Structure 1
Amino acid sequence: MNMKSKLRPNMRYALKYARTLLVLALAIFLLIPQPFAASYNVKIQSQPLVTTLSPAATYDVIVVGTDPEGVMAAVSAARNGLKVLLVEPRPRKVLGGLMTIGWLNSLDLNKSPTINAKFPEKNLNGGLFQEWYKMIQGTSFDVNRAARAFQKMVQDEKNIDLVMNAKQVTPLLEGSKVSGMRLTRDNGKEQTIRAGAIIDATQDADIAAAAGAPYTLLREDLGESPDVRVAVTLVFKISGVTDQVWQEMKQHVGPGGGSDARSIWGYGDARAYKSSDPDRVRIRSLNIGRQDDNTILLNTMQIYGIDPLDPASLEEGIKIGTKEAPLIVDYLKKKYKPFRNVQYAGVAPELYVRESRHIIGEYRLTIADLLENRDFSDAIAYGSYEVDIQGSSTAGKPGSVMTGSIMMNPLQYGVPFRALVPQKIDGLLVVGRSASFDTLPHGSARVIPLGMATGEAAGAAVKLAKDKHKSLRELSRSKADMSELRKRLTQQGMDLKMRDLKAQAYTKHKDYPGLLVAADLFAAVGGYKNEDWGLDEISSPKRFVNVYRKMQKKYPALQSKSDAGSYLKTEDPALKWDDVAYLITQAAGQSVAREQASAWLVDQGWINEQTIKSFGNRNQLTNGDSYMVVRDLVENVTGVKVQ
């Protein structure tokens, strides 16, 4: 006889009644609104950050930089059985860098396209990112919670030694191979440490640059001068945001805005804010991330003219932002009712710098890769975030501020492992925003969750290279090894599935080859829905001149001594082919009559005859027509084929 049958009827009834009460109590508990922080499932205790006092003389891999990408690289390498030294070369006290010290607490997530029930929408970046994401739980997060989550992941790994606040970190070179690092501790002690590989997870690829890896700076690959600098941000804090205030803020986001439990985006009319110095600082629509202590962090300030590689310029940016932040809060309090009782609570310790160096790797991610949602046999991460091109200005030139734009919105694209492998220098991988991405795709690929995925891939790749007794470059060139790396990453929980996507409508347009070139010049923008390319719209002389000037900037072989605009009447409403042909010949320094210019270009092989035949109306060229002309010039004169 079992125990249940031995119970008297009244006892069985009492147990059943108790279970019913327990279920009812649980249901009531779930229905009652709980304190905000109680929504978290993972409790992370605050513990002192443990660092190593005596690093070993040799490690399998050294990871430089404790931004999220570096943390993931170190954890991945350690879990793959490697002995890891994680080094922070900045004066920081916590892990997480931009997220925890720059206060960038809202995540730009890479969402998978919703294709069917088999592949529902979810975050593309699984693995270690997802493990961390479960600990902070939300599209925005409390920075202290995030710091504790990073710390837990690192200090749960016995194979990781941690050094913070290093005064100097210099790569050791044996010929063209990185063989270790010369480290100067904060106490002045110097040490030479050997390693099988180095993973550069610094924001600006400092180690790769010091080792001699080639790179482009800022928008140099578009032909822009280094004086054209991308806006940086100083995140600031507002306190007094109770649950009631938060709900009120969510009701005022305005057109195009939105919200969820942790994030608010919108307030587009906030851009009307009158800056104290419009050439140096402005604001855009508000990106708001909620914390656990009735505070919010705002990513809205745009600071112009800052050199991302000059410490003095970065300090100037902080001073500009520190002065402007309380003025912005005063403006928000007056303009929006939900802000009326909040208080300004300070600025982040570090600037949010979006762009600096772009390493030239074994492969360089292009905007065409995103336009066509390309996959790669060595894809070690996937992205889908919109191509967010930030505003810029020319240093020392008043009135030069150019606003940013959403260039296009990819569905899903792969990031090849080769983009982490710099040319010319062996034994080194670069992860995060300074990997081998052109400026334009960088507008999407720079987001931190994707960077964390590249860090995880790098850690696993170092282990695979060691197992195969190969260099990282040799590894990147082997299809079999890349297949093995992808297999290992999948086993670690990463999502390396490419969805079966339909070709985007714009790729089927007859002038799409021209759009590829125009987009590569940042002369065409599709917007959030990829519907603003305007290929069939009638173009204008003014628009064509702007496109032509961008082409000349990027391709010196097409530059001329005179300005292209002097050969067209830019006030004309429609663009005419004969005028365009004349402009091209004159800008090239050729003495060709207007009526002979078209035939001359065809005879020279500069413009394809088929391109001219495809024009619907020679006296009213469309944007697509003009892009095809530019495509012919780039391909036939410079020999560059954008594809």
Structure 2
Amino acid sequence: MKKLLYLILLSLSFFITMQGTFAEDYDYDVIVVGGEPEGVAAAVSAARNGAKTLLIEERKNLGGLFTYGHLNYLDLSMDQHKQWINQGIFKEWHDKIGAPIAFDVKEAEQAFSEMVEGEANLTLLMETTVKKAVKSGSALEAIKVKTPSGERTYTAKRFIDSTADADLAALAGVPYYLGQEDIGKRGQFMSATIVMLFENVDWDRVTKAAQLGVLEGAEQYKNVIWGFSGTIRQYKPVEEKTRLRGLNISRQKDGLVAINALQIFGVDPFDEKSIEVGLERGKRETYHILEFLQRELPGFEKATIAAFPEELYIRESRHIKAEYQLSIVDVWENRDQWDAIALGSYPVDVQASNKGEGELVVVNPVQYAIPFRSIVPLEVDRLLVASKASGYSSLAAGSARVVPTGVSVAEAAGTAAALSIEKNEEFRDLSKNKKFIEELQTVLKDQGALLYPFDLSYPYEGEWFYPALRELMVLGVVEASYDNDFNPDKQMSVNEFTKLIADSLSRSNQKEYDKFAKRVHEEVRDSKYDKKVTKRKAEKLISSIPKVGDKWNEIFKNEEYEVHFSQSPYITKAEGYYIIATLLNK
């Protein structure tokens, strides 16, 4: 009996020893999931700061959207001093490929590989899919993955999710919303795109056509041309749920010409069948677009389709909920943040979610800061989310989603992960620790990141109608475009006023919108939509909303109305913003 007990204890001791060996062989300080540009930056940053790091990617190559979607046209932007706003690791990679606006995809992929291979602390695991997140309480402790050699479990002290769709965060139980749910557009996502690839294009002739105003002309800088907005009106799509917008054209060194312009609507980013259908629809439409370009755009007469990307460019999927949700107001008001880890300044470009919508350039900021709190997800510890799915509102993501900004954010995530291990403190606690944030900012600046405090003004600051305008901006029902002009003094048309009420109600109070939609038609059918809206007409439209009735004087005729509204019978946009925001509050 004693001998049997001895053997059992010996076996148990051996098992525990083997388990310890397994942990020693496969445990990491930091695991980064996602081989997108953001994932590469996060992993390289963590490794350089002393963390034993594992980078996991489910594809065969690094680069994600750049490599598989052939999106080779960079959304670069500058700060208030005309410096490139995204530096550090992004600049390092960008310099490797010659610092163009548009790059050769193979060169980009090679540069990512070189950066990863150059880090002794960094291990790369390709063709590996995360199947399960393992937690202890709220803390993420391990992931179960499927590799080419079988299923494995990897443990780490910290994790970073840099997948495009926040896949690891979702598996771990981080709360999130889909697409534009946060502004009342349930089930709606920005359009997807297939990048069209052509060869045998006469670049010189295309350049000359841009200068001569063909298809309303275009702008050019080195190997990129953007414009030809005449295509929007002249081209008629053949495939359903597709639309062509102005052309963003790039030329690689090997002569391959890529065009980012074809929008594909109705793609569910979580349904493989829907994605495949969207991709095939885009391929078919590309042939019709080629015929159009051969007829209408000099330089494309002999063009042929060179190939098709392997993947769609999907702009939007999940938005995780974080300790701080970066808002459109933060972007518009050019706000600094006490815990800034990166700067952004790209215009808020919200692509249409269906063919009935136009593109929405909400605002064009000077610059704004992205806080550390926006990459610290709610409810799950030891995890950061550094990708276009980070803690941004869907409107703020219209700017913050661009890759250069994402790479800067991801570099900060990698650095923060290494520092948090060194201090043995949780991300959530550190997100409230000003001393830690100052240390993190110092390290990032030493690594080349562009970070500094700033205090900038913004248009309409202090104007009487600004609080109302801000409320409508948060709903995404108004836009200022690239020149940041909401035209407050311009008179509003019946169509504009009616649409603004309808859009505001549909996004904030669907029940009241349904009632309004049924009754408003009879109120506007006798009016020309482009006719200026009078105060009397506005009152009648507002009164058609149930529960408002004849309360116009009670709701709107206050001191602010009397002081700021003009004596004109017509309503300006500023007055319209005030009326509708007041209506929403009531």
Hey, what does 2:192 align to over in structure 1?
A: 232
Hey, what does 2:17 align to over in structure 1?
A: none
Hey, what does 1:621 align to over in structure 2?
A: 571
Q: CA deviation at 1:339?
A: 1.4
The amino acid across from 2:101 in the alignment is T
- CA gap 1:214/1:563 in 2 versus in 1, 3 angstroms: same
Hey, what does 2:505 align to over in structure 1?
A: 552
Q: Is the 8 A contact 1:222 1:553 kept in 2?
A: no
Structure 1: distance between partners of 2:493 and 2:511: 21
Hey, what does 2:425 align to over in structure 1?
A: 470
Hey, what does 1:49 align to over in structure 2?
A: none
Hey, what does 1:598 align to over in structure 2?
A: 552
Q: Is the 8 A contact 1:55 1:161 kept in 2?
A: no
- Per-residue deviation, residues 105-160 of structure 1 (Å, max 9, x unmatched): 010012123xxxxx4x1210110000001011201000000000000000101111
Structure 1: distance between partners of 2:24 and 2:144: 12
Q: How does 1:207-356 map to 2 (within 5 A)?
A: 207-226=168-187, 228-241=188-201, 244=204, 247-248=207-208, 251=211, 255=216, 257-271=218-232, 272-277=234-239, 279-356=240-317
Q: CA deviation at 1:405?
A: 2.9
Structure 2: distance between partners of 1:267 and 1:449: 25
Structure 2: distance between partners of 1:565 and 1:470: 56
Q: CA deviation at 1:341?
A: 2.5
Q: CA deviation at 1:162?
A: 1.1
Q: CA deviation at 1:251?
A: 4.0
- CA gap 1:439/1:415 in 2 versus in 1, 3 angstroms: same
Which one of 83, 89, 101 corresponds to residue 122 of structure 1? Answer: 83
Does the alignment pair 1:528 with 2:489? no
- CA gap 1:174/1:612 in 2 versus in 1, 3 angstroms: farther
- Per-residue deviation, residues 47-79 of structure 1 (Å, max 9, x unmatched): xxxxxxx99421111111100000000000000
Q: Is the 8 A contact 1:545 1:565 kept in 2?
A: no
Q: CA deviation at 1:198?
A: 1.2
Q: How does 1:436-475 map to 2 (within 5 A)?
A: 436-475=391-430
The more displaced of 402-411 and 453-462 is 402-411
Which one of 37, 53, 77 corresponds to residue 84 of structure 1? Answer: 53
Hey, what does 2:435 align to over in structure 1?
A: 480
- Identity within the alignment, %: 36
Hey, what does 1:42 align to over in structure 2?
A: none
Q: Is the 8 A contact 1:167 1:186 kept in 2?
A: no
Q: Is the 8 A contact 1:64 1:202 kept in 2?
A: yes
Structure 2: distance between partners of 1:613 and 1:564: 32
The amino acid across from 1:70 in the alignment is G
Does the alignment pair 1:75 with 2:36? no
Q: CA deviation at 1:220?
A: 0.7
- CA gap 1:499/1:330 in 2 versus in 1, 3 angstroms: farther
Structure 1: distance between partners of 2:45 and 2:436: 18
Hey, what does 2:122 align to over in structure 1?
A: 160
> Counterpart of 1:497 in 2: which secondary structure?
coil
The amino acid across from 1:294 in the alignment is G
Structure 1: distance between partners of 2:94 and 2:436: 29
Q: Is the 8 A contact 2:140 2:381 kept in 1?
A: yes
Structure 2: distance between partners of 1:505 and 1:315: 43
Hey, what does 1:135 align to over in structure 2?
A: 96
Hey, what does 2:107 align to over in structure 1?
A: 145
- Per-residue deviation, residues 251-290 of structure 1 (Å, max 9, x unmatched): 457557311222111121222222112x311211111122
- CA gap 1:413/1:212 in 2 versus in 1, 3 angstroms: same
Hey, what does 2:336 align to over in structure 1?
A: 375
Structure 2: distance between partners of 1:556 and 1:242: 53
Hey, what does 1:101 align to over in structure 2?
A: 68
> Counterpart of 2:60 in 1: which secondary structure?
coil
Structure 1: distance between partners of 2:24 and 2:113: 19
The amino acid across from 1:171 in the alignment is A
- Per-residue deviation, residues 586-618 of structure 1 (Å, max 9, x unmatched): 52435x5x3xx134336xxxx854245421137
> Counterpart of 1:229 in 2: which secondary structure?
coil
> Counterpart of 1:100 in 2: which secondary structure?
helix
> Counterpart of 1:293 in 2: which secondary structure?
coil
Structure 2: distance between partners of 1:470 and 1:110: 35
Structure 1: distance between partners of 2:399 and 2:364: 9
Task: After the TM superposition, list the runs of 4 or more consecutive aligned residues in structure 1 that deviate by more than 3 angstroms.
Answer: 241-256, 498-501, 572-586
Hey, what does 2:3 align to over in structure 1?
A: none
Root-mean-square deviation (Å)? 2.3
The amino acid across from 1:631 in the alignment is A
- CA gap 1:580/1:382 in 2 versus in 1, 3 angstroms: same
> Counterpart of 2:461 in 1: which secondary structure?
helix
Hey, what does 1:28 align to over in structure 2?
A: none
Does the alignment pair 1:57 with 2:26? yes
> Counterpart of 1:392 in 2: which secondary structure?
coil
Q: CA deviation at 1:623?
A: 1.3
Hey, what does 1:417 align to over in structure 2?
A: 372
Q: For structure 1, list consecutive stretches of 5 or more residues without a partner in the other structure.
A: 1-53, 114-118, 394-399, 638-643
Q: Is the 8 A contact 1:253 1:266 kept in 2?
A: no
- CA gap 1:560/1:106 in 2 versus in 1, 3 angstroms: closer
Q: Is the 8 A contact 1:253 1:264 kept in 2?
A: no
Hey, what does 1:8 align to over in structure 2?
A: none
Q: CA deviation at 1:506?
A: 2.8
Q: Is the 8 A contact 1:217 1:358 kept in 2?
A: yes
Hey, what does 1:408 align to over in structure 2?
A: 363
Which one of 518, 522, 545 corresponds to residue 587 of structure 1? Answer: 545
> Counterpart of 1:230 in 2: which secondary structure?
coil
The more displaced of 468-477 and 140-149 is 468-477
- CA gap 1:583/1:488 in 2 versus in 1, 3 angstroms: same
Q: For structure 2, list consecutive stretches of 5 or more residues without a partner in the other structure.
A: 1-22
Does the alignment pair 1:181 with 2:143? yes
